[in-house]
Amino acid sequence: MQSMTGFGRGTHNTGGWTASVEAASVNRKQAEIVANLPRQIQGLEGRVRQATLPHISRGRVQLSIKLERLEGDISDQIRINPALARSFESAFSDLSMIIGRQLLPTPADFLRQPGVMEIGEAESVDPDEAWEVISPALEQALANLNAMRSAEGGHLKEDFLARLGQLMAFTQIIADHAPSRPAKQRELLMKRLSDLGIPLELDDERLVREIALFADRCDISEEITRLHSHFAKFHGYIDAPEAAGRSLDFLCQELFREFNTIGSKANDALVAQTVVEAKTELEKLREQIQNIE
């Protein structure tokens, strides 16, 4: 079981290049990959996405990729645009003539002007050569990302099991109390009739039929059986190696439906109160499941 949130970093050096990759993931209903690559290697985005997809099934993964030379003259990484530099200085001369006093650009002015001087990777990088260094760094970053996601998933699993145990306890309280409701309804009905001065024998056909109808209307044996079935499936999904977030979310909906049906049939204060507590706990469980891949 894995969470959908995590972070991982990877680096790799080869062929005079070093690549660093940072991968961060957050919650999303579907798988979404966003890759930020240097301009010179943006054509590798398809390879990056293809290599990342097998590692995730849900969540938004943000990839930040950097590629730098390990060796060589630093001047190879500094690019100057002579025409733009001359035009920039000429503009200062024109401005000096307009305002009637001399203005000279400073080195800082040239550095601040976009395009005059750029510091970065070489303008052209062979895609295959770049991929050879990026690919191992990407795999390392994704492995570290999933390691963190798995660790958080383990903590969430413990929380799920605790909340599931509480839901099973609520279900058992309801199941133990349910058989006594027809007898209590009979006593209540006899008391009401007695208060109205309409005494009936316990074996009166009308009383027996009314109690039978009540017992049928409030029977929750099917709902209890389905709840236990859902609990068993829940445990199975939690222990499964594949991603189970969607399946667990669906099971929460089914559990809510069964508790809701029991509540509508309750006609009993204890059962109704227990159903409310179970639905509250179930809502907390469902919120946590939104973090699971």
**Tens-digit pLDDT profile for residues 77-91:** 667 888 888 888 888
Rounded to an integer, what distance in angstroms lies between the CA atom of residue 197 and that of residue 199?
Answer: 6
Predicted confidence (pLDDT) at residue 179 exceeds the cutoff of 80: no
Residue in 14, 25, 225 with CA at minimum distance from that of residue 141: 25
Predicted confidence (pLDDT) at residue 13 exceeds the cutoff of 70: yes
Rounded to an integer, what distance in angstroms lies between the CA atom of residue 31 and that of residue 56?
Answer: 7
Rounded to an integer, what distance in angstroms lies between the CA atom of residue 93 and that of residue 192?
Answer: 106
Between vectors from CA 64 to CA 60 and to CA 70, what angle results, nearest 5°? 155
48 C-beta neighbours (distance < 10 Å), count = 22
User: Using one digit for the tens of pLDDT, what is the confidence trace for 85-134?
Assistant: 888 888 888 888 888 888 888 888 877 777 777 665 444 678 888 899 99
For residue 79, list its beta bridge partners.
Answer: 118
User: Using one digit for the tens of pLDDT, what is the confidence trace for 51-69?
Assistant: 999 988 888 999 999 988 7
Q: What's the predicted TM-score (pTM) here?
A: 0.64
Predicted confidence (pLDDT) at residue 272 exceeds the cutoff of 60: yes
**Fold of domain 6-73+125-148:** Ribosomal Protein S5; domain 2 (3.30.230)
